Amino acid sequence: MTDHHHQHPAADTDPARFWDERYGQRDRIWSGRVNPVLAEVAEDLPPGTVLDLGCGEGGDAVWLASHGWQVTAVDISATALERLTAEAGRAGVAARITTVSQDLTRDFPAGRFDLVSAQFLQSPLDLPREKVLRPAAGAVAPGGRLLVVEHGAAPPWAGPDAQGHRFASPEEILAALDLDPDGWVTERVGAAYRTATGPDGQTGELVDHVVLVRRR
């Protein structure tokens, strides 16, 4: 969820207010489409329960619900969740989505899920990855999966500040999860590439770093 056009906010910025203000700047800040790696992974699985962490305006949640999943969608921004609920209503899948307003660094949803999805949980605010990813792994039901997708590089149209930013490798993301190798199978660790359109209509290739693990 990184936005490379904004200066980094002050360290004491309230995250809920920050994201509500970001969402308030435009009617929609994300594309509304499902993240491609998530679609690819979920399409191969029997629909079950899914926890969508940092769900934003609901592109993933609505797609998952439309494909038969029972979705728990969590975000810190009330504005984002209102948009998600409206989108789910338009798509006719509101009954399959439960929204939860939560700061994942402070609190975590209860329950076990067949799929836990953490898509681009990167933030201009200080967001300690381990604080979210370790509980995310803990929320995976036996036989279930955790899918983590993060930006692997700044987009080609980002400014020099962003180009100098270091992004965690897939192996580092996996290491941050600190999983017991006896309890988990690593199904995918690597990069995925996609073509995207920048803010001024320019096209470029983006790289995502992907970790998919299954609890035994």
Residue found under tokens 């969740």: 81
In 10 A of CB 76, how many CB atoms? 22
29-215: CATH topology is Rossmann fold (3.40.50)
pLDDT value of residue 4: 42
Q: What is the DSSP string of 137-165?
A: HHTEEEEEEEEEEEE-S--TTS-HHHHTP
Give the residue from 165, 183, 171, 175 showing the smallest Cα distance to 210. Answer: 171
pLDDT value of residue 96: 98
What residue segments make up the domains of the chain, in order of their start?
A: 29-215
Give the residue from 135, 119, 128 showing the smallest Cα distance to 55. Answer: 119
Mean pLDDT, each 10-residue run in order, the chain (216 residues): 51 76 66 88 98 94 98 94 95 98 93 96 70 95 97 89 85 95 98 91 94 98
- Over residues 65-102, the pLDDT tens digits come to 999 999 999 999 999 999 999 999 999 999 999 999 99
Cα 37 to its chain centre, rounded Å, is 11
Q: How far apart are CA 140 and CA 49, in angstroms?
A: 10
The pTM (predicted TM-score) of the whole model is: 0.86
pLDDT value of residue 26: 64
Q: How far apart are CA 149 and CA 42, in angstroms?
A: 13
